[in-house]
Structure 1
Amino acid sequence: MSDPLAEMVALLQPAARLVKLVGAAGAWGARRVETGQPSFCAVLDGHPVLTLQGEAPLPLAPGDFVLVPATWEFTMSGAAAPPAAAFERAPLQLGPGEVRHGDPEGEPDTRFVIGHCVFGAPDAALLVSLLPRMVHVRGDARLASLVELVRDESRAQRPARDVVLARLLEVLLIEALRSADGTAAAPGLVRGLADPRLAAALRRIHAQPAQAWTVAELAKESALSRSAFFERFSAAVGMAPMEYLLAWRMALAKDLLRRGACRIAEVAQRVGYSSASTFSVAFTRHLGVPPARFARDGTTSSASPLQ
């Protein structure tokens, strides 16, 4: 049986950019502006407050894990709101991969591991759009162990370090996404998989992307009427069933083309198109460049139409 979550994370090609241990004491605050790349945080001690742009402040506790697949701007601070000037102070660098916020002399009352990553997939935004905006998990020992392994590997200079980090991050992301309360997640793949009826259809799409699926056939897989399935799928996943199918086919096609795994005609067949010409028209319309050029350059000329 196909595993949509594992396939999605593997296609994203996560890699660690920076993993560090952060300590804080007294009145402190940190602000980071990103460019849409993923971040994660694991709280070891204390009760920091995370405020993601556009979201209500989120009080955190020891054992909490937060994943943000596409970070734009966020702040972290102590439980007591610090003065505005605290966010402008640069942290003290204690050593490789370790910084201190707030009082540099006092014993830190807050400690957390924070990681900033990159997704290597071309147009990763298309895949990220199918994930929740933020994942918050409380007290998961497996996640804590994975974070420690990521931190340890990021600080070492062992052979094959980048390969090991990439695999650890894949496992970390999968564990975080499947540990989340899918029923409470924002619309996306995680919420869709939390619904047993919709999960059946999603697994069929991922297992047989070349199948000439119709809404009626997918509704039958979910044991729902056509109209009930369409409404339920659209609300949970955030897009209509055929739109999701197209997005997944295009993601698979881009991966095959990028890797040079097969000729364009075979790519077309593997993602559900009867000929190379019909596939080329669809690929160009939705991604802005023809498949031959994408295979050569590995990029698209415009943002994903799903954004």
Structure 2
Amino acid sequence: MSDPLSEIIALLRPRAPSSKLVDAAAPWRARRTEVGLVYYCLLLSGRARLEVDGKPPLDLKEGDFVLIPATQAYTMSSVDPAPLPGLESQRHMRNDGSVRLGHPEGPAGEQLLIGHCSFGSPDAGLLVSLLPDMIVVRGEKRLGDLAGLIRDEARADRPARDMVLEHLLQVLMIEALRSGADTEATPGLLRGLADDRLSSTLRAMHAAPGHLWSVADLAREAGLSRSAFFTRFNRIVGMPPMDYLQNWRITLAKHMLRTRQNSIAEIAEKVGYGSTSAFSVAFSRRVGQPPAHYARTAATAMQMPQDV
């Protein structure tokens, strides 16, 4: 059976991490305004408060892990004592690459491992929309071990470093997503895969994207009536079932066009369109250009030097 989560993470191609150890002495507050990056934080000791713009504050304790696939601006701060309003703590960089927040002397009340990375896929925005916008995992040691490996690898200069980091980041994200399935996950693929009725439907769509699915077919996979299935899917996954299916089909089509694995007619059939013209219309509506033009543009882009 298809594994939708692994497929999506592999297509996202996480890369270029920045990972650092942070010691903090309360009271402290750090504000970051980079948006669109993948953010993760493991609280190694103490307590801290995470405030992502537009979301309620989240209190973290030792062993808690947070993954945000596409960050908004956010603030991290101490809990006890809380910082005064408007405080912005100075960051003191150390020779070993770690960071000190708050008073530069004395013991640290909190220690955090914080990382950022980006997604290499041109379809990152579409793929991230299928994931929860925040995952919180409480006290899972495996995530701490993985985050530590990523930090060590990012700071080293070993052969095949980038390849190792990409695979470690994939494992970290999969582990965080599946560990967080029963926690505070927001609507998205993760909650759908954790739902006993919707899991089989999502796996069926990913296993056979070329099948001519209807809402009635998908409802039968879930063992629900059409109306009950539609309502449940929309509430748990965060979008109507046919929108999810079309998003996935177009994502697969773009990947195949970029890698030139098949002809346009073959791609149309593989992703569930009855004719090349129907595929071209659907693709153009979603992507803004016909498949043939997209393939030519992607081929040109691949020949250009890439930023490292």
TM-score (normalizing by structure 1): 0.93
Q: Hey, what does 1:199 align to over in structure 2?
A: 199
Q: Hey, what does 1:157 align to over in structure 2?
A: 157
Q: Hey, what does 1:297 align to over in structure 2?
A: 297
Q: Hey, what does 1:86 align to over in structure 2?
A: 87
Mapped contact 2:135–2:186 kept (Cα < 8 A): no
Shift of 1:6: 0.8
Mapped contact 1:86–1:102 kept (Cα < 8 A): no
Question: What is the CA–CA distance in structure 2 between the aligned matches of 1:30 and 1:95, rounded to whole Å?
Answer: 20
Shift of 1:263: 2.2
Q: Hey, what does 1:249 align to over in structure 2?
A: 249
Mapped contact 1:183–1:191 kept (Cα < 8 A): no
Letter of the aligned partner of 1:234 in structure 2? N
Matching of residue 116 in structure 1 with residue 88 in structure 2: no
TM-score (normalizing by structure 2): 0.93
Question: What is the CA–CA distance in structure 2 between the aligned matches of 1:172 and 1:125, rounded to whole Å?
Answer: 20
Letter of the aligned partner of 1:35 in structure 2? V
Q: Hey, what does 1:210 align to over in structure 2?
A: 210
The percent identity for this pair of structures is 55
Distance 1:275 1:184, change over 3 A: same
Deviation string for 1:172-195 (max 9, x for gaps)? 001101111447522111111111
Shift of 1:97: 3.2
Question: What is the CA–CA distance in structure 2 between the aligned matches of 1:18 and 1:198, rounded to whole Å?
Answer: 36
- After TM superposition, the structure 1 stretch with the greater mean CA deviation from structure 2, 78-87 or 230-239, is 78-87
C-alpha RMSD of matched pairs (Å): 1.5
Letter of the aligned partner of 2:139 in structure 1? G
Q: Hey, what does 1:229 align to over in structure 2?
A: 229
SS at match of 2:17: strand
Shift of 1:109: 1.6
Question: What is the CA–CA distance in structure 2 between the aligned matches of 1:97 and 1:246, rounded to whole Å?
Answer: 44
- After TM superposition, the structure 1 stretch with the greater mean CA deviation from structure 2, 261-270 or 105-114, is 261-270
Question: What is the CA–CA distance in structure 2 between the aligned matches of 1:173 and 1:141, rounded to whole Å?
Answer: 14
SS at match of 2:61: coil
SS at match of 1:44: strand
Question: What is the CA–CA distance in structure 2 between the aligned matches of 1:184 and 1:44, rounded to whole Å?
Answer: 20
Question: What is the CA–CA distance in structure 1 between the aligned matches of 2:123 and 2:85, rounded to whole Å?
Answer: 36
Shift of 1:259: 1.9
Distance 1:20 1:77, change over 3 A: same
Q: Hey, what does 1:55 align to over in structure 2?
A: 55
Matching of residue 26 in structure 1 with residue 26 in structure 2: yes
Q: Is there any run of 5+ residues in structure 2 with no aligned partner, and where? A: 300-308
Mapped contact 2:47–2:110 kept (Cα < 8 A): yes
SS at match of 1:164: helix
Matching of residue 176 in structure 1 with residue 182 in structure 2: no
SS at match of 1:31: strand
Extract structure 1 runs of 4+ deviating beyond 3 A.
181-184
SS at match of 1:298: helix
Letter of the aligned partner of 1:287 in structure 2? V
Shift of 1:269: 1.6
Question: What is the CA–CA distance in structure 1 between the aligned matches of 2:191 and 2:178, rounded to whole Å?
Answer: 10
Question: What is the CA–CA distance in structure 1 between the aligned matches of 2:136 and 2:287, rounded to whole Å?
Answer: 32
Q: Is there any run of 5+ residues in structure 1 with no aligned partner, and where? A: 300-307
Q: Hey, what does 1:166 align to over in structure 2?
A: 166
Mapped contact 1:137–1:180 kept (Cα < 8 A): yes
